[in-house]
Structure 1
């Protein structure tokens, strides 16, 4: 599979929904994570990312306009020892808690299904990055309905050991706009990560997102040798 430009892939779809990018910088020293949220409704667009002690959480920008927090308020990113968890819902907490008890990433997600928001049945997408002893590895997962039929949950886990420099994978909830919204299909897309500094990379991803629908972006660069990290947050609501 030939890698494609991350910016072009993101900008090719007006409404990818929520998206996760994980990869390795071109110089091989950094694990790169990006997570973005988009919104079509006022409730979905009324959000910002804020930092927490071990990651980030979503929060209503204007509390007076918050209608239903059930699927839009959660912690997308949490850190557990040398592992960074990133997801599009409250399964972040499920993974954190069950892995802390000794379960694996995949085992933790067996306790969850896609979101109960028919007729879309939005997939739950998740990722995890581990940096240990100067070695990086990561995995991604998607839990989705069987072509919109909620009686069946399809579970896919993709694992990437010693990822190649300058490359990553991109997974998102929807293949594009529609009614109902069509779920992501196939393996996470192979994309070029490049060797930009964190601010340049964050700006490129943010600018690639549809101007009307983008809401917030989180980017983290993790030094693979030391497991130290720096992060950036961009919110449309300010």
Structure 2
């Protein structure tokens, strides 16, 4: 999925156009949503977009595509999309606008807090990046259940 976005941008496509060739995971009955994001900085401001591709309430014939964009968000505010809303069989996909979260502490504290809040049975991986908008320098943390 990351390669799809990278290749699309390299070939002049937008973030959304790049994702048109992708769908949710074909792991019936859950059809796990795919989540992507892109972040850009320009003239000292941050812009980002989050995308979720999912089946239409478990219907594998229809892919729902949602992209949420945020321009110049308030310092310390972030948005969060997760794959499922709760337990179930099949697991119900995330719905609605990405959740507003307050970003506090250093990257390790923040990443560990998010990881601890996720459902133990369903969490797989987490990607967290802190970016200094003025310098472009960043720190990344990836936590993977399957190490």
CA distance change for structure 1 residues 193 and 108 in 2, over 3 Å: closer, same or farther?
Answer: same
Aligned to 2:51: 141
CA distance change for structure 1 residues 156 and 100 in 2, over 3 Å: closer, same or farther?
Answer: same
Aligned to 2:5: 95
1:207 CA displacement? 2.7
TM-score (norm 1): 0.57
Quick one: distance in 2 between partners of 1:144 and 1:236?
22
SS of equivalent residue, structure 1 residue 110: helix
Aligned to 1:231: 140
Aligned to 2:128: 219
Alignment of 1:105-116 (within 5 A): 105-116=15-26
Aligned to 2:98: 188
The answer to whether the aligner puts 1:162 opposite 2:79 as a matched pair is no
CA distance change for structure 1 residues 105 and 149 in 2, over 3 Å: closer, same or farther?
Answer: same
- The superposition leaves residues 138-188 of structure 1 with CA deviations (integer Å, 9 ceiling, x where unpaired) of 001111111111111111111111112221111011111211111111111
1:209 CA displacement? 3.0
Quick one: distance in 1 between partners of 2:97 and 2:56?
16
Quick one: distance in 1 between partners of 2:29 and 2:18?
25
The answer to whether the aligner puts 1:203 opposite 2:117 as a matched pair is no
What is the Cα-based RMSD across aligned positions, in Å?
Answer: 1.9
1:199 CA displacement? 2.2
CA distance change for structure 1 residues 95 and 214 in 2, over 3 Å: closer, same or farther?
Answer: same
Gaps of 5+ in 1: 1-90
Gaps of 5+ in 2: none
Aligned to 1:132: 42
TM-score (norm 2): 0.88
